[in-house]
Structure formats: structure tokens, C-alpha cells
Structure 1
Amino acid sequence: MTRLFCVFVCLLCYSLVQSQQETKSVTVKFISEKIVPDGIIDEPIWEIAQSADEFWEYFPLDSIQARKQSQIKILYDHKNLYIGIKAYSIGKNYATQSLRRDFRGSGSDSFSLVFDTFNDGTNAFLFGINPFGVRREGLIANGGTSQDDFNLAWDMKWKGNAKIYDDYFTAEMVIPLTSFKFEEGTTKWRFNSYRIETQSNERSTWTRIPQNQQIYNLAFMGDMIFEKPLGKSRTPLALIPYVNGIAEREFDGNRNFNNVKVGADAKISVGNSLNLDLTLNPDFSTVEVDNFITNLTRFEIALPERRQFFIDNNDLFASFGNGFDFSPFFSRRIGIAQDTLGETIENNIIGGVRLSGKLTNDLRVGVLNIQTAEDLENRIPSNNNTMLALQQRIFSRSNIGVFFINKQSFQDYDFVERKDEYNRVLGIDYNLASKDNTWNGSFITHKSFQPDDSKGNFATSALIRYNKRKFNVFAKASFIDEDFRSDLGFVRRTDLFKTLLSLERVFWPKKGIVQNHSFQYFTNVRWSPSRSFLNTDYDLRSRYEVNFNNQSRASIAYTNSFTFLFNPFDPTRTEGAIPLPANENYFYNSVRAGYQSDQRKIFSYAIESSIGRFFNGDRFSVEGGMTMRFQPKASVSLMFNYDQIDLPQPFSSANIWLISPNIDITFSKSIFWSTLIQYSNQRDNLGFNSRLQWRFAPLSDLFLVYNDNYFVNVFAPRFRSINLKLSYWLNI
């Protein structure tokens, strides 16, 4: 055992010190004239720019030069970064979902540029454009290790356009330097670019990236060298006021509500490296609606943050913890509360302030303070929500972070119990990331404090991931004390000791229609520490997956599960049903198979089905979706989920449906209309959300949003609202 441990340590150290392939670089020249981004690279000034070219193929192979090459030219002045792109193709039949900004997906043509402005391999800015001139911008966090580290909800002002020719397209982008954060006087940023080319079914990158890594992983980047050092950023104050007219009707209580809300956000740059965000009486009524999810588990499900105020540098606050089991800060807790019936309702935010960014090249800081309003009718106190976070980079891409969270009401409310007067969490996380991203991991310890309860209350976790072309190993252990609390976080369950192990072998055929295929064995075992480490759950899964060269994929898995119920539980959530009894063992197994078609096609689909035992009964499930494109201006999609649960008498059986069609129409690059319909008999709700958006100026919008909800069991109106909201981004 000692010998194995020594070998493991030696391999880890070797990976940390080994460098990757020779670093590519491109020189960025300083200019004094302006470039108008019309998408046509015909200005003579482009002739002096050095080209970033010789792209590598990432898919279907990662060992050859790209078949359809691209060229990038970058220039700059005191205010802007100018980017010219020429990307070769086999024709003009480019794929796109629509003309909506912030597009995403491997089934659409796109060209993206990634800028690591602090050269830390941890965070980066992404700006992208497609052949139709549609733009997007995003943030990459945590080194770009997983899909969760890629966030397109971030917005910034910049200009760009594109022009399509017979066998290539060109694009021009003008990005204000104030869009970035960087160290004054710097002469180098780490840089990479990736392209998705649907006609030749190719994905390519400027710096070569192995396929076992994400295409935007920050461990694999070149350098862009500035001819002159960058100066001090002179970002103007951005003021974003809004006015929102609201008309609502709640049919159940026969109540009408009409109101006009006003408020504002402000963005202030503190030097080159810090952001100060302010919000007063924010309104999130125009944020995209959450997708319904069928929940057959005993636990809460986390949904992604979509509110713009919380997005920038959100990883600095939200990446503490191990994600699935416990996260001490989950921003969606702010502005949401429970009424006297235990129903989730909106809790108004009075205002907030957030400071985030770099103090030094290696030290990041985040400070957040938000005050929510009291709601005496629903017995909800006014709470102050505070978080302080520090993150220090160590080695090449690893970091250590500490945080403190406090949720507290500073008034005396007779309906607030002593144990709920405040909740505080203190923690430290070490995040490991080797230079070539072969090794990732984290080692975490958190402790919570409540009134008259300061002993124990720990949550700890350790995980390690080894990621190579042919082998992937993931191991994790977590402990969560039964009294651990994080009122501003997401804790799936307490009184938990959990071990997880995943072993995967990937095969890469040299010929044929298969791009790769893999076999994975996965174990997830849970115990209850307070019950003398009683084994409460396990899942043992074997999975086989095939990825084809045409981007379709298929998989099949067998899972053997065990659950010990602590409390009575009805998985169907049928009103008045007899729940499954507690203190019983349930053994069950299932088979799941799925297929996803080529997402580049005008019509694409995905379907997955499972069948097997479920607690003391049976379950059959089928879920999937389909999308039809009417390029380039519209798409229609349908998501569905069906669960047939058959439990023996006297327990409840159910047929649970979730059907969600969506219509997305872009009349132009500035006028968008989307309609989402969601039917869920588990939620007893049929909802309509229709949103018309006119972006009449950069990041300035006029919204018209209509919501309508019905009970489905008796089909009666439930809630209806209409919003007319105007917001304007004003630089002062």
C-alpha cells in the first residue's frame, strides 16, 4: 500500500512540473487609426497585423492540422482591441439556431476567442461570432474543466459583424479594453481560439487541445504579445435604470395587483482589476423562465442562476464546496423565501453591493452584501446576506480559497425562532489543477454556526480526478454533519458520509464510423454517521457509450440500487396518497438506453428510456427532445418526459407527464420573440411564457412579457401577468 501511495505522489508531482507542447504566440501591434467593424477585412491597416493561423483539428481527430484553416489578426489602440477573422469552408450552407445573441451548441457554426488576461489558467473572457454576424460573450471559470464552467449569461458592450463568401467567411470585432480586467502595464495575455465548422464536420483550435479535454480548457493556450504595455483602464460608470409596469391576477385568492416598479443597477470599475456592482430595487421579471423538472427523488434540485447581477465573477462566490453534495453559497437563495404554507414565493430585494476581481495577479477577492425586504403577511423577515471570499493562486493553476458567510436579521420578529436568527459558515477550499489538466481535485472543510449551536456542524470533502486520453479515474469522499447548515447555500442532504468511484476506459478506433467508445464503472455509496454508519443508499452502474464521427451518440447502462428510507416517502407526490413506509430496505435495478442524433441537421432529436424496478414497484421512463430549424431566423423545439410508476396497493401509482414546446423567432439581430409552454401534471400546472424583446441600443431593451398559468387537474386559471419593462445602459 505504501508503494502504491509513493507511485501516486510521484505521478502527481511529475504532472505538475511537466510543460505542454511549445507555446504558440502572436504579436499584437499598436495602431492609431480606427476600424469600423463591417465584417469586410478591406482596411489597409490589416496588412501590418501578424496572423494567428495553423489551426489544429480537435474533432474528429486531434493529431492533424485543421482541414479548413482559419486566420486571426489582432490590433489594438488605447481604447479597443480590433480582431479580423478569415475562416475557410466548403460552401455557404452554415448552420445556426437563430439570430439570437449568446448562441451555444456544437451543431451551429461559430468562431470563439478566449482571453486569459491575468495569465493564471483559471478564469478567462470569451467573445464569439458566427458567419451571420451574431455575437456572444461569456465567462470561463475554474480553468474550463467542465461544461458548468462555461457561462454565456454575462453581457458586455462591443461591436462585430461578418460577411459570407463562396468558400469562406470574414468577421470583424471591436472589443473595448474596458470589457476586460487586466493588470496595468501588462504586455502578454494567454490566448486561444476555437471554431465549429458544421459543413466539413470539423472543430479546430489555434493551440492544440486533446479530445479528452474541453475545447475551451484554459490549460492549453498560446500567448498574444502586445507591442506596447497596456495602460490604465478608464472605464466609465455604467448606469442601467429600468421602469417596469406590472399587471397581475391571482385567481385562487381572487386578487389583482397593478404596480409600476423603478430601480437601477450600476457598474463601476475600481482600477483595472476590480468590479463594483450596485443594485437598487432590482427586477428579474424578464429573466428566462426555469425549465420544469420531474423530481422523483427525496431531495431538492438546484437550478442555474440566470440573473445578471449575480453572474460576473460568480465562480468566486459559488465554486466553494463540491457542487453536488453541498455548496455554501447558492445565489438563488437570495430573493426567494417560503410563505406560511411552505410554498416558494418571491422575496423582494431592497438593494445590494458586490465587489469582485483581482487585488494582485494571484489574489482574487469577492465581497457581497444584499438586503431583502420583510413580508409580514407571509412571516418573512428582512435579512442581510453577506459573503466575503478570498482566492489565492498557487503553483501554475491551483488555488486556495477561504470564505465567510452570514445571513442574519437585525430586527426582532416574534415569528422567527431562536435557531433561525442567524446562520454563519466559515470554510477553506484547496483546488488542484495540474498544468496540463491531467490531475484535478479539491480538499474542503466548512463549518456552520447557529445560535446556541457551535459544536460539530462540519462538512468536508476530498476528490481527485485523473484524466487521460484512454483512462479516466474519479474518486470522492464527503462527510456532512447532521447539524450542518448553510441557509444561503445548497445542501442536498445532511448526516451523510459518501464515497464515489468512477473508472472509465476510452477506445479510439483508427478507422470506421466510430469516433470513440468507452466503458465506465461507477459506484456511489452513502452511510448515516448518526446511525452508527448505517448503509442507507448505493448505486452501482456499468455504462457503455459510443460517439460517432457524425456527432451522434448512443449509450446503454445497467444500475443496481439500494435505498433505506428514514421517513415515509411518496415518489409520485400524489395528494392524499399513502407513502412508502420508513425504516425499510428497498432494492431495485434498471436498464437505461439513449441516442442523440447529429445536432448539425435541420431536424435533430435525442431520446432516452429506462425500465426496471423502483422501490417496491416498477418504473418505465422515456424522455427526450427534438428541434426543427427554420434557418436563420427560427427554431421550434419540444422537450418531453414520461414516467410510469406502478407501486403495489395500497401505495399510489402514477403516469407523470412533462411536455414543453418552445418557439424561438428572431425577426432580426435586435428583435426576438420566444414562447415557452410547460405542462406538468406533477406540478399541477400548465404555464405559458411569451417574451418579446427589442434591443434598441447596446444592452438596452424593451420587454413585453406575458405569463399565464392553469391548474391541469381541474383546468382552471391559476395566475396571470403581463409586464412592460424598459431598461437602458447609460455610460456616464
Structure 2
Amino acid sequence: MKAKPILFFATFLCTIQIISQQSQSIPKKKYYTKFITSVPEIDGAITDSAWDELEWGTDFTEKDPDEGTPPTYQTKFKIGYDNKYLYVALRAFDDEPEKIEERLTRRDGFAGDRINVIIDSYHDKRTAFVFTITAAGVKGEELATNNGQNWDASWNPIWYTNAVVDDKGWTAEMKIPFTQLRFGNAEEQVWGLNINRTFFRRQERSLWQRIPNEVSGFISEAGELHGLKGLKSQKQLEIQPFTVLQYDTYEKEAGNPFRTGSDFSFNGGLDAKIGITNDLTLDLTVNPDFGQVEADPGNIVLDGFDDVFFQEQRPFFVENKNIFDFRVGGQDNVFYSRRIGRSPQGSVELNDGEFVDVPVNTTILSAAKFSGKTQDGWSIGILESVTNNEYAEIDSNGDRREVLVEPLTNYLVGRVQKDFNERNSYIGGVFTSVVRDKSSLDYLHKAAYTGGVDFRHEWHNRDYFIQGNFALSHVLGSKEAITRTQESIRHLFQRVDASHLEVDPNKTSLTGTGGRIFGGKRGGGNWRFFLGATWKSPEFELNDIGFLRSTDQIWQFSNVEYLWQEPTNVYRRMASRIIFRSAYDFAGHLNRVETQWNTFVNWENNWGTELRFGHNPRVISNTYLRGGPRWRNANESFYNLSFGSDSSKKFSFSAGFRNSFGSQDTFSVKNYDIRFNYQPLDALSLSLSTNYTDNRNKVQYVTVRDFGNERRYVLGEINNNNWSTTLRLNYSINPNLSIQYYGQPFIARGRYKNFNYVTGNPIATDLNNRVTFYDESTNQIQFGANSSGTDVFLVDEDLDGTTDYEFSNPDFSFVQLRTNLVVRWEYIPGSELFLVWSQGTTGSVDSDRSLLGGLNNQILENKLDNTFLIKATYRFL
């Protein structure tokens, strides 16, 4: 087993020597700024005398679609500075100004004609601050990291900008406080600089510093900004108090003192940002409001994994989140910030006549974050947060008692990285700690710790790279807590055929490892490739503060890609990729083999098409039977087809279809997806997306039951249909005042029949050698009532006239509606007023109803829950 990864990477080292064409090296352009003595008015028109002191920078080169050629229209810029601000003037020429797309959106809308000013003030050639202005005067900001591979629009600095359309095209001005940038203490600064213009109606991009398509980097290839002399450290101090008024209405529940029909609450808190140095900031929050404007999308889980990954949307955690990132494969991450403030993990047992009020989320008492990147290449992040004891309140005929459902907990995350080798390499580390109050719930870990190291090295003009990390986890707790972890679906130490695993009921700790290593070719010529491996040992555990879906895995993966980067009269660009993956467990079993081919084409008319084919000839799961033996799913084949129209048009659409099917007609999954976008006015945009899934599987897991000295893993044929539609409407009165609507109904229905159970060899290739179907004609299984009067399926397996075991009807129908109407007004830069009306419901309906019948029964005919919210923030600088 150990020889396989070694052979894998020996092949990798040999492959590195193949396809070794080096990418082009383009001379760095330089712009020399000057200190200006008068201050321009930021009105978008470049008419102030202050601009006369500065030289124009120009000579832009097309990036997309025809890289290396002159753009349709040129762009010019000027950059100046004083003691506190950086000033930028932009001129975008256009011979047809009446056709300029002035699309109004809220901040960070990134629609229409626009220009991005990209500033690498660290000059680390990996990180940049991006300031965007559109022809309509809408501003946006992004933090670009990992040499331009990640763009984070959640960064919201204070700065000033405006734009004006005239007879030559359009112009814009920017005023950027040095407090919003991070730079070193050198007497004369050199920053990375690039400026990107999007000519919207032709979907054309042009850059001041040319970057050939074959080059792997983006920020590292930027030009340079010279002439910044004597910049003084700006002591940043921002304080942002907030208040929230919330009124909820819902259907009154008779006799329940906690569901009276309405609730009112008032909340307030404080956020602060302190600039410790030009490079590092301290964020503080007291009694934070981490409310989300949009709810998480609806979902139904059929594979037993009840932990679903959702994106972080809370501002405190989103800022500088890239620094804390430490992934060990896919979405598995040492730090998953949504664990902080999570829903309480405890449960409550009620007696007859009792009612309970359980908090929706854990209260975050306070949190602090120290983060940033220094001029000499140190990335630093420290985050600490304390969450309060949470109690469920129980009412029994007026008598009240409290039950602990989440203990007082301290969360700590530390992260560091150091660049070296002229920014071509880095090495870093991470440490996390979760410590719960000693009197906490016995079934939760008392403490959890994780440590890890990571590295990356690039060479050959950054065309080639190798990257990896290693993490060690250690969790402590009572025997009950550790046994619970061993038996969770992530670990399943109780698997009946796992010779390398067993549950130890006396253990009070678990220690495991995980990580990944991969590398390949990212630039130079038209070929790209990479290969690598990830692993998670059986005792690896991250979910106290991280995200981990499954353990006992060793994945190997590779792909080869060819790019057509020069446009023709047929296409603008095209790419084709072949992917191969395989997976083992720590007992050495080959569990999965996957192959895939996909091609993407951006046609000459800016439409797009993507086609995928795949075949998985071996699909064996250690978790499918929830602690039972390894199970072979049918060999899988699939194909995807998606296409979309030109997104620059007022009306655009995309559509996709996926068909996946198994051998012996064991399963089929058909997924249909269609999206429409319409911009009837510059100030109004609408989008509508619909997704429908038809999932049919003859051997969907249902439950496990005892039959004498044997266990019966019961499966059934499921007909599962899921449907969701999402409507978004955005109306912008001006760049600082907008109205947004979001609505999503989600319906999932599953019906079961033709029940069967696992017999013979569960990893046999023939389905008939894996399962035995119950014989309904002999009443071996029948639907009826048990001794308690509950409707169940009764099984008389040995046909002796006596029920051997029973199980509940697994049919389900789930409905969820989430809507939000939000008025957002940024009345001064950084200070906002929100008016929010949310409406929704979640529940189950009669599974015998049709899919749309469930929608009518649960949503259209029922009283919906309502939340009215007013939130105001004021940002003191």
C-alpha cells in the first residue's frame, strides 16, 4: 500500500520534465507617480488642475479574447498622492458613447463597462487590493490572493469614487485612503500595479501591463508603481456601532407559551478595526450581529451525512478569510468559521404536556481577529472567540426549567505563512483549539486541537509548482463522547468487515492525520497538467472547528489539459481536459476508480458550451450501509451538456442537463437546470433559475434491523424528485441606494417500493448477488400497523406467520420557502441602513401528494412566518 503513493509521485517527477515549454517573459512597465499639492474633487470629471501635474499612462494591450493585440479603444490613467490618499484618474475612450453600458447595481455589482485598479502594495507578487469603478459610478472592491487565483469581494474598505460619460467615452476618479492599504516602512515604495478595462458590449478585456494567456501568474506579472516617497504610517481606527430592531410573526400554537404569534427583540453591538501597523490590523467585536440577508439553500440528504457545507456570509469572519484557509482536500478545511455561533448541539427530552424553546444559534459573547501581511512576506492570522452557555427553556404547565444545550466554549485559530525565494515559495503553519467548559455535555468533546504545516514552491517562471500540507488532530472527551465520534458516519469504526478498525469504548482521545500533496504545470505553452494525493486517517477529526466529511481515505488524482488560447472565426477560446482519480482505504482496498473527459468552448459570438463524459468502473463505499460491510454501487456512466448565451446582452440564458446511470439499470439521476437573466433597464435586473432532479435507485439505504443473530441492512427502490426555483430582483435608485428581492421555494419528495436486503456478497459485481428482494406475493413484507398502532412495514422473513422485524415508512415530502426583501442605503461611505422583510416556512407534507401539490399545501395555503428588521450602522473613522 505504501509503495503506491511513492510510485505515483515518482511518475510525477518524471512527467515534470515533459511538455517543458517556458512561458513568455514580458518586460515590466513602470509608472512614476508624484506628490500633488492640490486635491482634486472626486466628481468623475478629470478637470481639476491637480491632475495637470501628472503624466498619462497608456498603451493598453488586449487580454481577452485576442491576447497581445491592440484593444478596440485605448485607456489612459494618472496616479498621484499626498500625505493621506492615493488619487487615480481614468479615461476610457469610446467612439460610440451612447452604447456604453451604464448598469446600476449595488456595491460590488461588477456589471457593465468598468475598470479595475489592481494594487499590490505589499509587492509580494501574490496579493493585491482591487478597486473597481463602473461607467454608472458603482464601486466595488476585491482582495485578490494566491497570485490571482482567488478573488474575495467581501472586503469593504472606505474610499471615494465617481464616473462621468462624455462625448469621448467615460472618465472616473478615485480617492483611496492609505489606511485601507497595507505597505511597508521603506522611504521609497515600489508597488505592483495593473489596470484592467472591461469593454462590456464586446466582452473585451485590456491590460496596462500585458500578461500573455500562457503565463501562470497574474499579480506576479503586474507592472510597477514608482515614486511613492516618505509615506507615513497611517494609524487606522474605525469604530462601527450597530443597532437591530426585529419583529417576528408566525402562526400561534395553542397551549405553547413560546409560540404566541409574535416576538419583538432589540439588539446592539460594536465592531472596531485598529491598525497596529501599516501591515497588520486588529478587529474586535462585542455582542456581534452576524445575521445573514440570504438564507442557506434548501437541501435533502440521502447519504447519511447530515453535515452540509454552506458558504460563510458573516462580515467579521469573511474579512481576511484567505489567510486562515488550510484545506486538506475538497471542502475539508482545518477552519470552518460557521462552527462558531453554530446551532446548539444538545437535544432535549420532553414529557407529555411540555413545550420547549431552543435557541436558533449560539451566542457569541465577543471575538477578536489579528491579521494581515507584512512587507517582508509574513502572513499572520489569530482569531479568538468565546460563545456563551446556551439553555433550552422548558415549560410544564407554567413551571419553567432550563437544560444546557451548548456549553461555554473558547475557539482559537492561529495561522502563519512566510514567503521566500523571491516570493516563489512559502512555508506556513496552522493551530486551532476548541476548549469547552468542564461541566459541559458528556457527549461533546472537552477539547479539540489541530496543528499543521503547509508549503508551496514555484519554478521555471512560475510555470511549475508543487504544494502540500500535513495536519495532525487530537480530540479529548469522555468515553461516551469518544465512542460517539468513533461510531459517527465520518468514522464508522464499528464496520463489521473492517479488519483495521474497531470501537474502543474505553478511549478518551483520538489522534489522526490528514493532508494533501500535488503539483504540476500551470503555465507555458498550451499544455497543463497536475497530479497529487490526499489522505485522512481513520482517527482524523476536525469538526469541532473545521469541516470534515469522511475519513479512512487515500485519494490519488491527475489530469491533463490542452488550451486553445488564440481566437479564430469559430471560437474565442477552448479547453479540453482528461481526469483520472482513484481511492483506497487504510486497509488497502481499492474502493473507487473514476475517469472523466470534458471540453469547454467560448464561441465567436460569446456563447458557451460545455460537454462532459465520465465512467466510474469501480464504486465501493465503506459508509453506504452505515456501519455495515463495504458495499459496491453499480458501475456509473454519465454525461453533461450545458450551454449559455452571451451574458453581455440585455437578455441571456443558460441551460444544462446531466444524466447519470448505473449498470443493470440499478439507478439513474437526471438533473435539469435553466437560468434566465434580464436587464430591462440600467437600474433593474432580474434573474430566474430553476433546478429539477429525478433520482431513481433500486438500492437506496433505508435502515438496519436484527433478524436472529444476523443483521438486515434494508434497502428500497426510491423515486426521489427535487425542485427549486430562485428569483432575484435588483433595482438601484443610485449606486448607494438599492432594493433587492430574493425568493426560493424548495420541494423534495421521496417514495419507496420494492424493498430488499443485503445478502451474499455485498461487493459482488452482479446486483442479484448483493441483495434479495422481499416477496410481496407471499406477504413476506406488508404495510400495516404494529402493536402500538403506528403504520410500519412488517417483515415475516422466514414466512412462519410471525413478524420478525419492522421499520417505519421512509417516504418523505419536504418543503421550504425563503424570501427576503432588502432596502440598503449607504448614506455615507461605510455606514448603512437596512430595511428587511423576510418571509418563509419549513415543514413536511403528505408524501402522497404530488410535487406541486406539496407546494400548494405547505406554502400557498398556509400562513407564513414573517420577520421585519431594521439595522443601522455608523462607521467612525
TM-score by length of structure 1 reads 0.91
Are residue 709 (structure 1) and residue 840 (structure 2) matched?
Answer: yes
CA contact (8 A) 1:201 1:550 kept: no
2:538 partner SS: coil
Aligned match of 2:667: 617
Cα distance in 1 for partners of 2:863, 2:841 equals: 4
Following TM superposition, by how much is the alpha carbon of 1:623 offset from its aligned partner in structure 2, in angstroms? 1.0
**In angstroms, what is the RMSD of aligned CA positions?**
2.8
**CA distance, structure 2, for counterparts of residue 521 and residue 630 of structure 1:** 41
One-letter identity of the residue aligned with 1:524: R
Alignment of 1:622-701 (within 5 A): 622-648=672-698, 650-682=716-748, 684-701=815-832
Structure 2 counterpart SS, 1:647: strand
From 581, 588, 594, give the equivalent of 1:533: 588
Q: What amino acid maps onto 1:726 in structure 2?
A: A
Instruction: Kindly state the Cα deviation for residue 584 of structure 1 after the two structures are TM-superposed.
Output: 3.4
Distance 1:527 1:453 in 2: 28
Q: 1:374 to 1:19 in 2, by over 3 A?
A: farther
Residue 467, structure 1, aligned to residue 482, structure 2: no
Structure 2 equivalent of residue 193 of structure 1: 195
Residue in structure 2 matched with residue 522 of structure 1 by the alignment: 579
| Mapped partners of 1:206, 1:322: distance in 2 | 37
Contact 2:741 2:821 in 1 (8 A): yes
The higher relative CO (CA closer than 8 Å, separation ≥ 6) is in 1
Kindly indicate whether residue 530 of structure 2 is the aligned counterpart of residue 399 of structure 1: no
Size of the aligned set, in residue pairs, is: 709
Q: Residue 499 of structure 1 aligns with which residue?
A: 556
**Residue 290 of structure 1 contacts residue 303 of structure 1 at CA under 8 Å; is this kept in 2?**
yes
Q: Deviations over 1:339-379 (max 9, x none)?
A: 44599942221111111123552212111101112212261
In the superposition, relative to structure 1, how do residues 403 and 442 fare at CA in structure 2: closer, same or farther (>3 Å)? same
Cα deviation digits, residues 213-268 of structure 1 (max 9, x gap): 68x92121010002523222232x21100111112246477354321001010010
Amino acid at match of 2:173: E
Residue identity opposite 2:387 in structure 1: T
Q: Counterparts of 2:456 and 2:43 in 1: how far apart (Å)? A: 43
Whether 2:391 is the aligned partner of 1:376: answer: yes
Aligned to 2:119: 115
Aligned residue for 1:248? 248
Moved more, 47-56 or 445-454: 445-454
Q: Distance in 2 between matches of 1:263 and 1:285?
A: 13
Q: Which has the larger radius of gyration?
A: 2
Code of the aligned partner of 2:451: L
Partner-residue secondary structure (3-state), 1:95: coil
Instruction: Work out whether 1:309 is the aligned partner of 2:311.
Output: no
- Does the 8 A contact of 2:388 with 2:409 survive in 1? yes
1:442–1:624: structure 2 CA closer, same or farther, 3 Å change rule? farther
CA pair 430-48 structure 1, distance change in 2 beyond 3 A: same
Tell me if the contact between 2:24 and 2:212 (Cα under 8 Å) persists in the aligned partners: no
Matched, 1:129 2:133: yes
In the alignment, residue 563 of structure 1 is paired with which amino acid? Answer: V
Rounded Cα–Cα distance in structure 2 between residues aligned with 1:620 and 1:678: 21
Taking structure 2 as the reference length, the TM-score comes to: 0.76
Contact 1:96 1:631 in 2 (8 A): no
Tell me the distance in 1 between the aligned counterparts of 2:73 and 2:370: 43
- After superposition, the Cα gap between the structure-2 partners of 1:284 and 1:26, relative to the gap in structure 1 and judged at 3 Å, is same
Distance 1:340 1:492, change over 3 A: same
Number of the residue aligned with 1:575? none
Mapped contact 2:661–2:667 kept (Cα < 8 A): yes
Q: CA, structure 1 residues 717+41, in 2 after alignment: closer, same or farther (shift >3 Å)?
A: same
The CA deviation at 1:471 is 1.0
Maintained 8 Å contact 2:677/2:686: yes
Aligned to 1:48: 53
Q: Equivalent residue of 2:323, what SS?
A: helix
CA shift, 1:434, in A, is: 4.3
Following TM superposition, by how much is the alpha carbon of 1:302 offset from its aligned partner in structure 2, in angstroms?
A: 2.7
For 2:278, the equivalent position in structure 1 comes to: 272
Aligned to 2:769: none
- Does the aligned pair in 2 maintain the 1:336–1:344 contact within 8 Å? no
Distance change in 2, residues 1:50/1:244 (3 Å) = same
Distance of aligned partners of 1:94 and 1:510 in 2 relative to their CA distance in 1, 3 Å threshold: closer
Question: Contact 2:582–2:594 (CA<8 Å) still a contact in 1?
Answer: yes
Query: What is the SS of the residue equivalent to 1:45?
Result: helix
Instruction: Give the counterpart letter for 2:137 in structure 1.
Output: G
Q: Distance in 2 between matches of 1:657 and 1:539?
A: 28
Distance 1:367 1:83, change over 3 A: same
CA distance in 1, matches of 2:693, 2:625: 17
TM-superposed CA distance for 1:717, in Å, is 4.3
Using the TM superposition, give the Cα deviation of residue 711 of structure 1 relative to its aligned residue in structure 2, in angstroms: 3.9
Aligned pairs for 1:449-598 within 5 A: 449-451=474-476, 456-468=511-523, 469-486=525-542, 487-508=544-565, 511-529=568-586, 532-561=587-616, 562-568=618-624, 583-598=631-646
Of 330, 333, 348, the residue aligned with 2:339 is 333
Cα distance in 2 for residues equivalent to 1:618 and 1:57? 46
Residue 160 of structure 2 is aligned to residue 159 of structure 1: yes
Structure 1 contact 122–397 (Cα < 8 Å) conserved: no
Asked if the contact 2:24–2:214 (Cα under 8 Å) also holds between the matched residues in 1, the reply is no
Q: Give yes or no for contact 1:298–1:569 (8 Å, CA) kept in 2.
A: no
| Partner Cα separation in structure 2 for residue 635 and residue 510 of structure 1 | 31
**2:143 corresponds to which letter in structure 1?**
L
Select the residue among 289, 301, 324 that pairs with 1:283: 289
Is 2:359–2:391's contact at 8 Å kept on the other side of the alignment?
no
Aligned residue for 1:573? none
Post-superposition Cα deviations, 1:294-349, rounded to whole Å, max 9, x if no partner, equal: 7676654433222221233221112x124515210111221113444599942221
Asked if the contact 1:50–1:73 (Cα under 8 Å) also holds between the matched residues in 2, the reply is yes
Q: Output the CA distance in 2 between the equivalents of 1:344 and 1:20.
A: 58
Whichever residue aligns with residue 332 of structure 2, its letter is F
% identical equivalent positions: 22
Q: Is the 8 A contact 1:144 1:218 kept in 2?
A: yes
What is the SS of the residue equivalent to 1:315?
Answer: helix
Cα distance in 1 for partners of 2:545, 2:659 equals 37
Structure 1 unaligned blocks of 5 or more: 571-578
Q: Is the 8 A contact 1:690 1:707 kept in 2?
A: yes
Q: Is the 8 A contact 2:558 2:579 kept in 1?
A: yes
Q: Does 1:94 align with 2:121?
A: no
**Aligned-partner residue type, residue 518 of structure 1:** A
CA contact (8 A) 1:287 1:307 kept: no
* CA shift for structure 1 position 544: 2.0
1:350 is matched with 365
Letter in 2 for 1:329: F
The aligned residue for residue 238 of structure 2 is 238
